[in-house]
Structure 1
Amino acid sequence: MQLELRHLQAVCRIAEAGSLGRAARLLGVSQPALSAQLRRVERVTGGELFVRSRHGVEPTPLGQFVLARARRVLSEMDALGTEARAISTGAPLRLGCILLVLLDGLLEQTDRFLPGQEITVDLEDSVTALARMLGAGQYDAIAYGEVNDHEVPLPEGVLARTLIPKEPFCIRMSVKHPLADQEQIALADLSDELWMTLVEDDDGGPEALIGACAKAGFVPSLRYRIGDRQMHYSLIAAGRAVALSQPTAPATAGTVMRPLIGTPITGRIRLAWNRSAVPAEQADRLYHAAAHAYLANVDNNPFHRAWWDAHPEVHPEVHPALD
């Protein structure tokens, strides 16, 4: 077996994480699979790279030698990718996303902040798959969400920046729903409803919904899993289900959106990019494009505008020089 970049990345991530379990979660693989990979690397290098201690795992002298060389090689590869893309001016920026509201205006904003840059955009249902594809070089950058305290593991060689650290999820329901006239909804009052299952099942959303409902005294009945927006809205308008929604979502015929009392479920929006493919200035401009795309939707719902104005600490950093 010959050593590959993924082997060097795994060794570095184990050292950084301090344990095989945490490193496996960060890499998006199982612990047994990472252990087997480490054993194969150790056979090639001729000895143990880590020893267990009460603090986790620590590199052996051989491990320290391999780590030093691995970091140097990975750094050189990062530099190679960045410099090559800087020379290849015609290369498109490959952006992967989950279905976020800001995507509707993102391309308009990238035309403004990244003029002349060709951009391809693909949607994925799985945040985990999105992160893995970023690590594998299939995407240069990704835009994704996390719910409550969930953190998406990111691969080695990736940088990330939080765009919106917190936004309050709300409820979309039929305009004919008995609670539609209330300004705020108590989650416990939705105990008998059928719920639209979230399309993304690995961003912490399902766990957050089930956990919040448990605190409210019930188990949600998850019925539909619809990725098509129009069908999603039509089922809600018909009174077939209620659903969690980003507060920036637009109004749709036959439905209303209402905030939840106590804000039990919140979202976070982040950008991540492969540092070997996206120069720092380009990443900064992508951040500003996404920020302006988000800000364009803040007034979609009056309750979110009021919440937004009351929480300046969650506003994105937008430099006047780039406006």
Structure 2
Amino acid sequence: MQLELRHLQAVCQIAEAGSLGRAARRLGVSQPSLSAQLRRIERVTGGDLFVRSRYGTELTPLGRFVLARARRVLSEMDALGTRTRSVAADAPLRLGCILLVLVDGLLEQTDISLSGREITVELEHSVTALARMLGAGRYDAIVYGEVNGHEVPLPEGAMVRTLIPEEPFSIRISAQHPLATREFIDLADLADESWMALVEDDDGGPEALVEACARTGFVPALRHRITDRKMQYALIARGRAVALSQPTAPEADGTVMRPLLGAPLSGRIRLAWNRSAIPPQQAELLYRAAACAYLANVDNNAFHRAWWDAHPELHPPCEPERLPPSDA
């Protein structure tokens, strides 16, 4: 076997994630599959690249040597992808996103404000993967979230703007739940519930949830990890789980949304783009389109509309502008 780029990416992901389990989720493969791949890589490199400890995985001296060169090779390939992308000026604008509520209306908004340029939208379940793909030139721009002040590292050459500086997470529970009639729900009252694990595990969300629950005296039982919204909602409606949710999320049969008392968890939404692939004016139009897609969902829940109206300092501009004919 010869080493390929995907093998170098796997080594980098394991090193950055600090464990095989987290790296496997970010790469979208099973942990046994990644473990088997790592063993094949280590046979080629001639020794162990990582040792396991109770804290996760740690690099060996050989591992540090391979990691440094893997990063150099991947950086050169990223630069090649970015350069070729900038030459192809008429190529579609490729937008990568995590599963945010605004994604549902984003394509419609970009069709309105960025008329004249084809746009594709793809979903990922890892913020780290989005950032890496932005650097590699697979995406020209990404829309992603960060929880409780967590900051996602971005590749060199990326520009970033915050769309929504703050939105307090709410909770989705069964409409038959004893707490469903309350205006606000205290996090401490959810200590005995089964929780829906967050889809993204690298945006600061899991750590923020565990820390918030710890402050109220319990450890959340994260028993379900489901990426399909309809399956999530069905499980919650049956009283089998509760879940954190963006306050702009739509209603779902058999469930209700309630704000958390004291807003112990909040997120922000950001847009990043490759400045060599998207000129400043189109970046501004993309930003406004994403902002409009978010604002279209503010009225999904009355409690969020009230909170939003009370915080005008957080409001982004939302007036899509068309490109002048000369730039179309």
Q: Which residue of 1 aligns with 2:317?
A: 317
Q: Which residue of 2 aligns with 1:236?
A: 236
Q: In 2, are the aligned partners of 1:80 and 1:276 still within 8 Å (CA)?
A: no
In the alignment, structure 1 residue 146 sits paired with structure 2 residue 146:
yes
Report matched runs for 1:56-71 at 5 Å: none
Question: Which amino acid letter does the alignment assign opposite residue 156 of structure 2?
Answer: E
3-state SS, counterpart of residue 293 of structure 1: helix
Q: Within 1, Cα distance between the matches of 2:142 and 2:275? A: 12
Structure 1 stretches lacking a partner, 5+ long: 1-20, 22-29, 42-69
Q: Within 1, Cα distance between the matches of 2:255 and 2:62? A: 47
Q: Within 1, Cα distance between the matches of 2:83 and 2:312? A: 37
Q: Within 2, Cα distance between the matches of 1:164 and 1:78? A: 28
3-state SS, counterpart of residue 164 of structure 2: strand
Question: Which amino acid letter does the alignment assign opposite residue 130 of structure 1?
Answer: L
Q: Which residue of 2 aligns with 1:210?
A: 210
Q: Which residue of 1 aligns with 2:193?
A: 193
Distance 1:33 1:156, change over 3 A: farther
Q: Which residue of 2 aligns with 1:164?
A: 164
Q: Within 2, Cα distance between the matches of 1:321 and 1:193? A: 47
In the alignment, structure 1 residue 123 sits paired with structure 2 residue 123:
yes
Q: In 2, are the aligned partners of 1:78 and 1:157 still within 8 Å (CA)?
A: no
- The number of residue pairs the alignment matches comes to 259
TM-fit CA distance, 1:228:
0.5
Question: Deviation string for 1:17-58 (max 9, x for gaps)?
Answer: xxxx9xxxxxxxx998997489769xxxxxxxxxxxxxxxxx
Q: Within 2, Cα distance between the matches of 1:33 and 1:114? A: 49
Q: In 2, are the aligned partners of 1:187 and 1:216 still within 8 Å (CA)?
A: yes
Question: Deviation string for 1:92-115 (max 9, x for gaps)?
Answer: 011111000001111110111001
Q: In 1, are the aligned partners of 2:82 and 2:135 still within 8 Å (CA)?
A: no
Question: Deviation string for 1:114-171 (max 9, x for gaps)?
Answer: 0132111111111101110110111111110000011111011111110001000000
Q: Which residue of 1 aligns with 2:270?
A: 270
Q: Within 2, Cα distance between the matches of 1:97 and 1:33? A: 35
Distance 1:92 1:80, change over 3 A: closer
Q: In 1, are the aligned partners of 2:164 and 2:268 still within 8 Å (CA)?
A: yes
Question: Which amino acid letter does the alignment assign opposite residue 255 of structure 2?
Answer: T
Q: Within 2, Cα distance between the matches of 1:317 and 1:97? A: 20
TM-fit CA distance, 1:318:
3.2
**Structure of larger gyration radius:** 1
Q: Which residue of 2 aligns with 1:136?
A: 136
Q: Within 1, Cα distance between the matches of 2:107 and 2:321? A: 20
Report matched runs for 1:1-323 at 5 Å: 36=65, 82=86, 84-86=87-89, 89=90, 91-319=91-319
TM-fit CA distance, 1:195:
0.3
Q: Which residue of 1 aligns with 2:55?
A: none
TM-fit CA distance, 1:85:
4.2
Distance 1:211 1:296, change over 3 A: same
Q: In 2, are the aligned partners of 1:167 and 1:268 still within 8 Å (CA)?
A: yes
TM-score normalised according to structure 2 size = 0.73
TM-score normalised according to structure 1 size = 0.74
3-state SS, counterpart of residue 107 of structure 2: helix
Percentage of matched positions with identical amino acids: 70
Question: Which amino acid letter does the alignment assign opposite residue 100 of structure 1?
Answer: L
Q: Within 1, Cα distance between the matches of 2:291 and 2:63? A: 37
Distance 1:40 1:126, change over 3 A: closer
TM-align CA RMSD: 2.6
Question: Which amino acid letter does the alignment assign opposite residue 258 of structure 1?
Answer: R
Q: In 2, are the aligned partners of 1:170 and 1:260 still within 8 Å (CA)?
A: yes
